[in-house]
Structure 1
Amino acid sequence: MPHHEEHKFSAPPEVHSFAALLFDMDGTIIDSTPAIVKYWMQLGKEIGVPGETILETSHGRRSIDVLAILAPELATWDYVCKAEGQVPVNYGDDAVEVPGSRSLLEKLESAGAPWAIVTSGTRPLVTGWLGVMKLAHPKYMVTAEEVTKGKPDPACYRLGAKRLGLSDGSTKEQGELNDGKQVDPSQLLVLEDAPAGVRAGKAAGYKVVALATTHAISQLREAGADWIVRDMRSVTLSHWDAKGSKVGIEIKDALVV
């Protein structure tokens, strides 16, 4: 993970209300970097591209988008879903939870507060990791194979909001009707670790907490994150107002800009 010593993570606690939370997966809920490195190194051997070259640009991007450039003949959902589905099976011991993520997800789920996972991974990859690591499973997810364009395009996060029954006023995406409860885009909170994901959330008009778990703080700043924190221990559930449909989130020890 990036070194944080030279940065001041000591902003006082803030409590904000949101309509829902939208989580990225890898680098945000779990850190499966060693497993993903092994996945790309092996795949690199198969397609004749150095794994190190792939890893320079692959984080936060869909496998199919990477393969479309490096090995177009393999850029099919059948291939990608099968390949990614084997990652938790083959490398299940090579992932850890991001500190604080398990507690936050369990509290959201227990309270009945609305949350979803929106990820550049495929459904077999995400459900595999949730099962292996025994993490809370959301009622709704948006995975790589369900959107035409991956992050930093905002379509995936807008689709996540729609699946939670919320409309941010954007045009309808992926054929799903934009007839949910109308909310201001700033009432949706995205939790991300990759600059591409931060840009996707901001392009949708949502607020974004960036976790400095995988990328340089300068990259997260440049991407436009509203808050930057070390890990998920800085993000906690303050309250859930079921009647008003508001999720109270406390953000503490954020980066002092």
Structure 2
Amino acid sequence: MALDQGNGSFTGQTESHAFAGFLFDVDGTIINTTDAVTKHWQRIGAELGVDPDVILRNSRGRRSIDTLRLYDPSKATWEYVRHIESLIPKLYGSGVTEIRGARPLLESMGEANAPWALVTSCTRTLLSGWLDLLALPPPPASVAAEDVAAGKPDPACYNLGRERIGLGERARVLVAEDAPAGVKAGKAAGCMVLGLATTHGVDQLRDAGADWIIEDLTCVKVAGKGDDGWKISIEKMWVQNE
């Protein structure tokens, strides 16, 4: 179930679009890590002497290293970040689940030989931990936190993701994102952005620039390859009430 739907509903008619490639965020887009991440920052906040609620308000969609720079710059090192993130699946992985529709969509991407990648704000250590825990389809390419100099909303991660699936900056690429910072990053990279209302309300995703908004990935289907790219259908999009 999506969060705040704003002045509208998920009743839009199905649309078909073609793209040269696809880039997926991870937390909140293909897996639900909200409970695990909340517990993680509660523990780290206690260690740092910082109110965890304050950290959580500013951490969604951001790299841990960028969050730590706000509260304790001495901890903002890749060694420390990799260590604390390596513990998350071990300590809190039992509550992590797939976003509805994620597995069949990723599997269908592979079956269609569509170029796709995961682009995440977590470290490669944590990304591997989540993929192993849930046995999700391995991505043909990926971009993790330590691969770029600046995190979302900077577009560097999506620019690199597009490059790693072999596409140029003029290619028509779809980004799937749940966080406003990620939506802004995708748009700044020149991509179309599909927003998922799994962790943020519709109005936040709209304000960030999402081109379409859906409840989860059951609303996306791969329809095969055409002359203009890989075709997908997007169902039950958010539409504003008249």
For the residues of structure 1 that align with 2:228 and 2:128, how far apart are their CA atoms?
A: 27
Unmatched runs of 5 consecutive residues or more in structure 1: 169-182
Q: Which residue identity lines up with residue 38 of structure 2 in the other structure? A: V
Structure 1 residue 68 corresponds to structure 2 residue 69: yes
Alignment of 1:64-213 (within 5 A): 64-168=65-169, 183-184=170-171, 187-213=172-198
Which shifted more, 6-15 or 30-39? 6-15
Q: Give, in angstroms, the shift of residue 165 of structure 1.
A: 0.9
Which shifted more, 88-97 or 115-124? 88-97
For the residues of structure 2 that align with 1:255 and 1:155, how far apart are their CA atoms?
A: 28
For the residues of structure 1 that align with 2:132 and 2:210, how far apart are their CA atoms?
A: 30
Q: Give, in angstroms, the shift of residue 49 of structure 1.
A: 0.3
RMSD (Å) for aligned C-alpha atoms = 1.3
Structure 1 residue 16 corresponds to structure 2 residue 1: no
Give the structure-1-normalised TM-score. Answer: 0.90
Unmatched runs of 5 consecutive residues or more in structure 2: none
Q: Give, in angstroms, the shift of residue 110 of structure 1.
A: 2.2
Q: Give, in angstroms, the shift of residue 247 of structure 1.
A: 1.2
Q: Give, in angstroms, the shift of residue 6 of structure 1.
A: 6.1
Equivalent position to 1:248, from 216, 231, 239: 231
Structure 1 residue 235 corresponds to structure 2 residue 209: no
Alignment of 1:45-56 (within 5 A): 45-56=46-57
Which residue is equivalent to 2:205? Answer: 220
Does the CA-based 8 Å contact 2:221-2:234 persist in structure 1?
A: yes
Q: Which residue identity lines up with residue 213 of structure 1 in the other structure? A: T
For the residues of structure 2 that align with 1:5 and 1:189, how far apart are their CA atoms?
A: 24
Distance 1:145 1:84, change over 3 A: same
SS in 1 for 2:152: coil
Q: Which residue identity lines up with residue 23 of structure 2 in the other structure? A: L
Which shifted more, 143-152 or 2-11? 2-11
Q: Give, in angstroms, the shift of residue 148 of structure 1.
A: 0.5
Which residue is equivalent to 2:8? Answer: 7
For the residues of structure 2 that align with 1:229 and 1:154, how far apart are their CA atoms?
A: 22
Q: Which residue identity lines up with residue 107 of structure 1 in the other structure? A: S
Residue-by-residue CA offset, 1:7-38 (whole Å, 9 max, x unaligned): 31111111110000000000000011000001
Does the CA-based 8 Å contact 2:178-2:199 persist in structure 1?
A: yes
Question: In percent, how many aligned pairs have the same letter?
Answer: 48
Does the CA-based 8 Å contact 2:20-2:229 persist in structure 1?
A: yes
Q: Give, in angstroms, the shift of residue 81 of structure 1.
A: 1.0
**Equivalenced residues, count:** 239
For the residues of structure 2 that align with 1:133 and 1:163, how far apart are their CA atoms?
A: 24
SS in 2 for 1:189: strand
Relative contact order (alpha carbons < 8 A, sep ≥ 6): 1 or 2 greater?
2
Q: Give, in angstroms, the shift of residue 4 of structure 1.
A: 3.9
Q: Which residue identity lines up with residue 220 of structure 1 in the other structure? A: L
SS in 1 for 2:200: coil
For the residues of structure 2 that align with 1:193 and 1:108, how far apart are their CA atoms?
A: 20
SS in 1 for 2:137: coil
For the residues of structure 2 that align with 1:5 and 1:48, how far apart are their CA atoms?
A: 36
Which residue is equivalent to 2:30? Answer: 29
SS in 2 for 1:8: strand
Give the structure-2-normalised TM-score. Answer: 0.95
Q: Which residue identity lines up with residue 120 of structure 2 in the other structure? A: T
